[in-house]
């Protein structure tokens, strides 16, 4: 690895990558929390007391901060970059947030690449899937691969495209988690956990999401009003159990608004 890496933020992702890749002194790290210095030393990277220390000679920057810090960090630290340095924004934020960060980095002479991390960094570590977009995505991909990342894919030249895939995908991934919690709270209160889960197991189908997405939306357009009415009763069931139907109420609204509409898409699989 010939590039000098700067890690901005040294939480779970930063420390996991540094340890797994064995970057040691080839990577410099900075975190606003001074308590993270012990983790930096354990990983063998250069622990910097200032952002300038980490960034001044870096060719490749991995921004790994909290979502609410992604834009301020890009705006505040962009002037510290050396000309042509690549800023890989690996934070889980909206496309508009990444586009605003890109403007700050590029105005300061840096190159910005939108990177979406599609799985937990543990246990995937350097095998975590990364999507890249931006006009400098090809150069960033080469540098990330040289740094040890094994599953990278360029999805376009437009900043925000990689993050759009991540954020929209999260609607399902995190939404299912929230729906599961709402279901299990109710099933536990009603003492019907085994019966509910057994029923779901019996009706579970193993299908591609290309098929499943189109089918699910078609069911709403054809039967949305009836399903909305049923879900209103589900919401009443939750209320009767003392559980606020946050997710279920949203389902009522979405089912009702899709009723009678034309299916808005046809999903066709494309090669990765």
Spell out the per-residue pLDDT of the chain, length 272, in tens.
577 999 999 999 999 999 999 999 999 999 999 999 999 999 999 999 999 999 999 999 999 999 999 999 999 999 999 999 999 999 999 999 999 999 999 999 999 999 999 999 999 999 999 999 999 999 999 999 999 999 999 999 999 999 999 998 988 888 888 889 899 999 999 999 999 999 999 988 788 888 888 888 888 888 889 889 888 988 998 999 999 999 999 999 988 998 888 876 666 665 44
Rounded distance, CA 181 to CA 251, Å? 15
- Exposed (0-12), middle (13-18) or buried (19+): which is 113, by Cβ within 10 Å? buried
Element of type H or E holding 113: strand 111-117
Pairing of strands 111-117, 130-133: antiparallel
Rounded distance, CA 100 to CA 71, Å? 7
Tokens of 110: 């840096």
Pairing of strands 60-63, 86-89: parallel
Which class does domain 165-258 fall in? mainly alpha
Return the CATH number of the domain spanning residue range 5-158. Answer: 3.40.50.720
- Exposed (0-12), middle (13-18) or buried (19+): which is 100, by Cβ within 10 Å? middle
| Domain locations along the chain | 5-158, 165-258
Rounded distance, CA 266 to CA 164, Å? 19
* pTM passes above 0.95: no
List the beta bridge partners of residue 63. Answer: 8, 89
Phi-psi category of 156—alpha, beta or left, where left has phi over 0 and alpha has psi -120 to 50?
Answer: left
Tokens of 194: 């085994």
């Amino acid at each position: 690895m010939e590039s000098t890496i700067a890690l901005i933020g040294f939480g779970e992702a930063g420390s996991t990558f540094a340890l797994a890749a064995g970057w040691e002194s080839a990577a410099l790290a900075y975190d606003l929390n001074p308590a993270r210095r012990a983790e930096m030393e354990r990983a063998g990277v250069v622990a910097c007391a200032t952002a300038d220390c980490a960034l001044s000679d870096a060719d490749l920057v991995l921004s790994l901060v909290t979502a609410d810090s992604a834009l301020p960090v890009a705006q505040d630290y962009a002037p510290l970059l050396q000309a042509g340095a690549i800023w890989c924004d690996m934070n889980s934020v909206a496309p508009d947030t990444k586009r605003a960060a890109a403007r700050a980095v590029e105005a300061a002479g840096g190159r910005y690449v939108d990177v979406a991390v599609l799985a937990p960094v543990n246990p995937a570590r350097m095998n975590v899937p990364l999507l890249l977009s931006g006009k400098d995505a090809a150069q960033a991909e080469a540098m990330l691969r040289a740094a040890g990342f094994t599953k990278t894919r360029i999805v376009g030249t437009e900043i925000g495209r990689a993050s759009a895939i991540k954020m929209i995908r999260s609607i399902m991934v995190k939404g299912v988690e929230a729906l599961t919690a709402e279901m299990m709270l109710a099933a536990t209160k009603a003492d019907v956990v085994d019966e509910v889960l057994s029923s779901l197991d019996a009706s579970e189908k193993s299908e591609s999401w290309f098929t499943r997405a189109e089918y699910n939306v078609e069911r709403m357009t054809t039967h949305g009003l009836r399903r909305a009415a049923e879900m209103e009763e589900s919401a009443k069931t939750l209320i009767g159990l003392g559980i606020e139907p946050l997710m279920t109420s949203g389902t009522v609204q979405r089912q009702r608004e899709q009723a009678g509409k034309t299916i808005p898409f046809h999903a066709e699989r494309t090669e990765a």
